Structure 1
Amino acid sequence: MVADLMFDIFSPDALERYVILAPGLLIALVAHEVAHGYVAYLLGDPTAQSQGRLTLNPLKHLDPIGTLAFFFVHFGWAKPVPVNPRYFKDVRFGMLLTAIAGPGVNFILAAVFAIVMHILTTIQFQSGTLWESIIVPFYLICQAGVYVNLILGIFNLIPIPPLDGSNVLAYFLPPRIAQLYMSLSRYGFIVLIGLILIGQYSGYSLIGQVIFPLVRGSAALLGINL
């Protein structure tokens, strides 16, 4: 089982897919975390800045386990940017804005990648030329950029703590209920991993049934077919 998986991961086709996915994925993960930290910084929280997390250097944001998980189960994550809500004048509203920032940036990036794709389709080139060897891979990278940014943005809006959607929902709940709800964060990550693994090995993903139709619909609004 392990040998077959390793062969698949390092097969030529798999390596080509990862090379195409890597740029958009890195940009999506890094921009998502920096957006959280930067909005928190604008609201008075210097924590992310003091820990060197307001940088586009991916090495500051990549989580070793999350990176390996991407290759083995096609799901990964970055190190969450530290946020200290005690610096916010309005804690609940500050957490709302900070939470929205990450997915918001992903949706903006998806739109940027889509615009580049539309521009690339207007370029005329002959098959077998140098232009084709440059434009086609770049087009595929941009297509992957649309895909991963929409997935990351939509996935993080799921209201399961500690995903960003939980902070959005918590803002609209009564304070006492919101506090109890957010205390579930310690278990939320385990629940998410469990749901994803069940989907990987059962062929029926509860999360996928919700996320992928939204991703395809969002891409269609951008004029992109995924």
Structure 2
Amino acid sequence: MSSFQISREVPRSAFVPSPVFVGILAVVLVSAWMTWTGFGNVRVDVFLLVVSGWVLSLTLHEYAHAIIAYFSGDRGVADRGYLRLNPLKYTHPVLSIVLPLIAVVLGGIGLPGGAVWVDHAHIRSKVKESLISAAGPATNVVFALLLAAPFAFGAGDGALVYSAGGITLGPHGEFWLALGALAFLQVTASLLNFLPVPGLDGGNALRPWLSAPYQRAYDLFAPYGFLLLFVLLWQSSVNVYFFNAVDWLSTAIGVPTDLGQIGLSYMRFWSN
């Protein structure tokens, strides 16, 4: 038995949400109320709602990996604290939290965040290994659909008012901008994570089905896949094609055109 593997009698406390997660959820709810009511500096409210909502989605993304791994045979994820919804447990705090937040704030891209270490020695099925990898981005898809649902039913139709003088905000427009921005980010995260790139969830879902030589080649490039993707998105025309795809997908699920990108711009309260 691996040193990482614990008894199948996992204590119930291993599933209790951490105080950090409860705090994040509280910030999401409070900032949502502040944004809806226009409390204080509403652009700061929008910033808090988008950032805390994004951290919440990062946490649930990694939790989805962990809970599927747990039921697939790796009970050690409970011992490593992955089932307590604590984002600080998901590997390196800079690469897992700070860098994705910088990308959200400055670039409007939902980069992959943390990572859950899974003991694959206890996963006995290629299908289960693929499901573990796909569970995270599937969570982003669910998030995107939930956030888009109010728009699909007509809510927020008057969030943006276009006129000869420019764009003004309708009733509770700031709230709908924040919701649109979060939906936009979830679409970017879903698209990025499902790409078959070594080291990302999409690539990891394909890896179990590769032959041994291709798996070795995959493992060689996996540590650099994220960095390559980061460079491509920031320094080439790939960025244009990527955001065109994101715009199309956002519109397809009901998020009004431009609402997400305008919301991301609006949340930068330090700029005009």
TM-score calculated relative to the size of structure 2: 0.63
Q: Does 2:146 correspond to 1:117?
A: no
2:222 to 180, 185, 199: 185
| Secondary structure class of the residue paired with 2:69 | helix
Number of residues paired by the alignment? Answer: 202
Tell me what 1:99 maps to: 133
Contact persistence 1:24–1:142 (CA under 8 A): no
**CA deviation after TM superposition for structure 1 residue 217, in Å:** 2.0
The residue type equivalent to 2:195 in the other structure is: I
CA spacing shift, 1:114–1:102, aligned 2, 3 Å: same
Larger mean Cα displacement after TM superposition, 31-40 or 161-170: 161-170
Quote the RMSD (CA, aligned, Å): 3.2
2:119 to 62, 84, 107: 84
2:70 to 24, 27, 41: 41
2:174 to 137, 157, 162: 137
For residues 28 and 194 of structure 1, the distance between their equivalents in structure 2, rounded to whole angstroms, comes to 24
Q: Does 2:58 correspond to 1:29?
A: yes
For residues 213 and 42 of structure 1, the distance between their equivalents in structure 2, rounded to whole angstroms, comes to 38
CA spacing shift, 1:168–1:68, aligned 2, 3 Å: closer
For residues 216 and 145 of structure 2, the distance between their equivalents in structure 1, rounded to whole angstroms, comes to 35
**CA deviation after TM superposition for structure 1 residue 14, in Å:** 8.3
List alignment gaps of at least 5 residues for structure 1.
1-11, 125-130
**CA deviation after TM superposition for structure 1 residue 103, in Å:** 0.8
TM-score calculated relative to the size of structure 1: 0.74
Tell me what 2:244 maps to: 213
**CA deviation after TM superposition for structure 1 residue 123, in Å:** 9.3
**CA deviation after TM superposition for structure 1 residue 173, in Å:** 2.8
* Runs of 4+, deviation exceeding 4 Å: 12-17
Contact persistence 1:24–1:141 (CA under 8 A): no
CA spacing shift, 1:25–1:168, aligned 2, 3 Å: same
For residues 20 and 147 of structure 1, the distance between their equivalents in structure 2, rounded to whole angstroms, comes to 14
**CA deviation after TM superposition for structure 1 residue 30, in Å:** 1.2
Q: Does 2:191 correspond to 1:154?
A: yes
For residues 15 and 68 of structure 1, the distance between their equivalents in structure 2, rounded to whole angstroms, comes to 19
CA spacing shift, 1:17–1:161, aligned 2, 3 Å: farther
More helix per residue: 1 or 2?
Answer: 1
CA spacing shift, 1:26–1:188, aligned 2, 3 Å: same
Contact persistence 1:36–1:102 (CA under 8 A): yes
**CA deviation after TM superposition for structure 1 residue 152, in Å:** 0.8
List alignment gaps of at least 5 residues for structure 2.
1-40, 159-169, 259-272
For residues 26 and 120 of structure 1, the distance between their equivalents in structure 2, rounded to whole angstroms, comes to 27
